[in-house]
Amino acid sequence: MTRGTEQRPVWTCKDDERWAAQFELALAYHHNPPDGLADAALAEVHQIAAEAGQPIRKLVGEPNAYADTVAAERISETRRSTEGLDGLVAGGRFTAGLVLAGVQAVLFGIVLWVSDGFWLTAGWTELTGGALLTVLSVTVSGVLPELRAAARLRAWRIALAAVCALAVTAAVLFTAVPSGSLIEVPAPALFGVGALLAVAGFRLPDERAARWFLGRRAAAEPVGDDAWLARLETLLRGRHGYSPKAAARCREEARDHLRASGGGAAEEFGPVEVYAMRLADNPGRTSRSARARLIPAAAMCALSVRYGYDLLADPEPRSVWFWIKVGALPLAIWAWGTALLEIRSALRRDTRKGTAQRHRSK
């Protein structure tokens, strides 16, 4: 998650400054550019505007449209082929997971400081459970998405089983194992843990993290048509969200084409990751992305509702922390509920489009 360090141009008017901010946001949000591309594009536009003596908007148009143009011209298919349904390139999910785990550690430190005081008494139970929770956070938010996007589905299933085992172990530690008194640590010590995780996420290059999860075999171009077709199927399933049936159908269609043409897969279709991206870049991408987010959003919404029920079933009106939780809970339920409604709308739109297309074909 490293970022470029190019010197940023100085804008002569407020509208140019707003244009630059909108362009940078659109490029980052919609296209996930490589480090330095936004700075290089802004430097070029700044020079053009300075030489012409006119506003940027008049010279190159609206920032969103210009971001699309820059992305189409300067982001290679090889890089875009590593993007999954979440829009992140290979390695970016793990680095983002480290940053998220760091933020969670800081928030947890604040919670403990407010509820238990500055000094915390910790035993082996708390220390081991805290370490397991950190590993769980990084694994769920970073490792699992990376393995799936790398199309290493067997490793993804093993990691998922490990997550379930770790979650059960952590729950047993915090509920069934007696708490001991080993050391006293200040609550802000968790801020340091969180800072280390976040800095590691920001400093670790996405490309290096990607190599950890791809492995040598997956990173190399498959040798032989069977290996190429098998890799195509796993890429469609893991990285692009195809169902097993749809991915198998695409594999067989590619195999039929090879039989008819008599050529090899690499010669006919090119690099397998790029071809998988081209296949997946269709109107169904929106619905696949919505289906991928459906179960996590529904689970978080259900957990928020359950937590609210438990909180109100045993209220502590004299506790300030109780009222903070009561105030934050509706926001969480609203956020996840809104996400579910957005997912539902996307799936309905895709269903209507599919129905309309079938009627037109008839």
pLDDT, position 77: 84
pLDDT, position 269: 92
pLDDT, position 285: 81
**Which among 166-170, 243-247, 288-292, 344-348 has the top mean pLDDT?**
243-247
Asked if the model's pLDDT at residue 207 lies above 70, the reply is yes
Asked if the model's pLDDT at residue 1 lies above 90, the reply is no
Region 279-284: mean pLDDT is 84
Asked if the model's pLDDT at residue 178 lies above 80, the reply is no
Asked if the model's pLDDT at residue 237 lies above 80, the reply is yes
Contact 186, 119 (CB under 8 A): yes
Rounded percentage of the chain residues whose pLDDT exceeds 70: 92
pLDDT, position 360: 62
User: Higher-confidence residue: 178 or 236?
Assistant: 236
Region 45-63: mean pLDDT is 87
Region 186-201: mean pLDDT is 90
The CA-CA-CA angle for residues 105, 108, 109, to 5°, reads: 85
pLDDT, position 219: 58
pLDDT, position 234: 93
Asked if the model's pLDDT at residue 2 lies above 60, the reply is no
pLDDT, position 82: 84
pLDDT, position 71: 86
pLDDT, position 252: 95
Q: How confident is the model at residue 253 (pLDDT cuts 50, 70, 90)?
A: very high
Region 314-339: mean pLDDT is 82
Determine which of 24-28, 83-87, 143-147 has the lowest per-residue pLDDT on average: 83-87
Write a three-state SS string for the chain. CCCCCCCCCCCCCHHHHHHHHHHHHHHHHHHCCCCCHHHHHHHHHHHHHHHHCCCHHHHHCCHHHHHHHHHHHHCCHHHHCCCCCCCCCCCHHHHHHHHHHHHHHHHHHHHHHHHHCCEEEECHHHHHHHHHHHHHHHHHHHHHHHHHHCCCHHHHHHHHHHHHHHHHHHHHHHHCCCCCCCEEEECCHHHHHHHHHHHHHHHCCHHHHHHHHHHHHHHCCCCCHHHHHHHHHHHHHHCCCCCHHHHHHHHHHHHHHHHHHCCCHHHHHCCHHHHHHHHHCCCCHHHHHHHHHHHHHHHHHHHHHHHHHHHHHCCCCCCHHHHHHHHHHHHHHHHHHHHHHHHHHHHHHHHHHHHHHHHHHC
pLDDT, position 94: 93
Work out the mean pLDDT of the chain and round it to a whole number: 84
Q: How confident is the model at residue 12 (pLDDT cuts 50, 70, 90)?
A: confident
pTM, 2 dp = 0.77
Region 229-243: mean pLDDT is 92
